[in-house]
Amino acid sequence: MTAYDDLWSGTALKALSLLPVALQDQAEALVREICRSPRDPKYPPSVSNPRAQVGSAGPVTVVFEVSLVDNLVHITAVYRND
């Protein structure tokens, strides 16, 4: 298993694979941005899960959690929101 696989939950990876390639690229770019600055206030808490945060770019939304212990990002869901 690679670090990339560790970053994504199985559910999020499956959802990512179902997106068109252009949206997969957009989601992956958003994840790279989130990983650079996961505590940025532009990523608000998720309404359905207060431990999770939400990032959006165009028609893609990524839900993620940040570990309080080691500040690692874990992608839990990817949505197409158009």
> Does position 58 have pLDDT exceeding 50, yes or no?
yes
Tokens 């959690």 identify what position?
65
Per-residue confidence (pLDDT) for residue 4, from 0 to 100: 60
Every domain of the chain and the residues it spans? 3-80
Q: Quick one: 3-80 is in which CATH superfamily?
A: RelE-like (3.30.2310.20)
- The pTM assigned to this predicted structure is 0.89
Radius of gyration of the chain (CA): 12
Q: What is the mean pLDDT of residues 45-73?
A: 92
What is the amino acid identity at position 61? T
Per-residue confidence (pLDDT) for residue 2, from 0 to 100: 45
Per-residue confidence (pLDDT) for residue 70, from 0 to 100: 80
Per-residue confidence (pLDDT) for residue 75, from 0 to 100: 96
Q: Please provide the DSSP assignment of the chain as one string.
A: --HHHHHB-HHHHHHHHHS-HHHHHHHHHHHHHHHH-TT-TTSPBPSS-TTEEEEEETTEEEEEEE-TTT--EEEEEEEE--
